[in-house]
Amino acid sequence: MSVSYRWVIVAVGALMSCVAIGAMFSLAIFQEPIATATGWSHVGIASAMTLNFIVMGFGGFLWGAASDRFGPRPVVLIGYVLLGVALVLASRAETLMQFQLTYGILVGLAASAFFAPMIAATTAWFDENRGLAVSLVSAGMGVAPMTISPFARWLISAYEWRPAMLIIGVAAWALLLPAALLVRRPPADAVDAGTDFSAEGARPQLSKVFRSPQFIVLGLTFFACCAAHSGPIFHMVSYATICGVAPMAAVSIYSVEGLAGLGGRLLYGSLADRIGVKPVLVAGLLVQAGALATYLFVSRLGEFYALAIIFGSAYGGVMPLYAVLAREYFGQRIIGTVLGAATMLSSLGMAFGPLIGGWIFDTFANYSWLFIGSAMVGLGAAAIALAFPPLARQKPQPALGVPL
pLDDT cut 70: percent of the chain above it: 91
Q: At what angle do helices 72-91 and 42-70 cross, to 10 degrees?
A: 160
Whether 332 is in a domain gets the answer yes
Mean pLDDT of 146-175: 89
Does 394 fall in a domain? no
Query: Is residue 194 predicted with pLDDT exceeding 70?
Result: no
CATH (domain of 35): 1.20.1250.20
pLDDT higher than threshold 70 for residue 2: no
Q: Average pLDDT, stretch 232-261?
A: 83
Does residue 192 lie within any of the structural domains?
A: no
Handedness of CA 243, 248, 251, 253 (dihedral sign): negative
In a domain, 401, yes or no: no
Question: What is the arithmetic mean of pLDDT over 22-42?
Answer: 86
For residue 209, what pLDDT is reported? 83
Residue 188's pLDDT band, with cuts at 50, 70 and 90, is: low
- What residues contact 241, with CB distance under 8 A and at least 6 apart? 32, 247, 250
Determine the average pLDDT of the residues in 245-256: 81
| Best-predicted range by mean pLDDT (14-23, 214-223, 387-396) | 214-223
* Cα angle for residues 273, 274, 277 (degrees, 5° grid): 55
Q: Is residue 397 part of a domain?
A: no
In a domain, 195, yes or no: no
- Taking the C-alpha atoms of residue 75 and residue 183, their distance in angstroms, rounded to an integer, is 10
Mean of the per-residue pLDDT values for the chain? 83
High-pLDDT (> 90) share of the chain, %: 25
Q: Is the pLDDT of residue 74 over 80?
A: yes
pLDDT of res. 204: 63
Residue 193 resides in a domain:
no
Q: What is the mean pLDDT of residues 6-28?
A: 86
> What integer pLDDT is reported at residue 394 of this predicted model?
46
pLDDT at position 344 = 82
Confidence of residue 87 (pLDDT cuts 50, 70, 90): very high
Span 175-196, average pLDDT:
72
Is 244 inside any structural domain? yes
Domain count, the chain: 1
Which residues contact residue 128 at a Cβ distance below 8 angstroms, ignoring those fewer than 6 apart? none
Task: Give the domain extent around 172.
Answer: 3-184+206-385
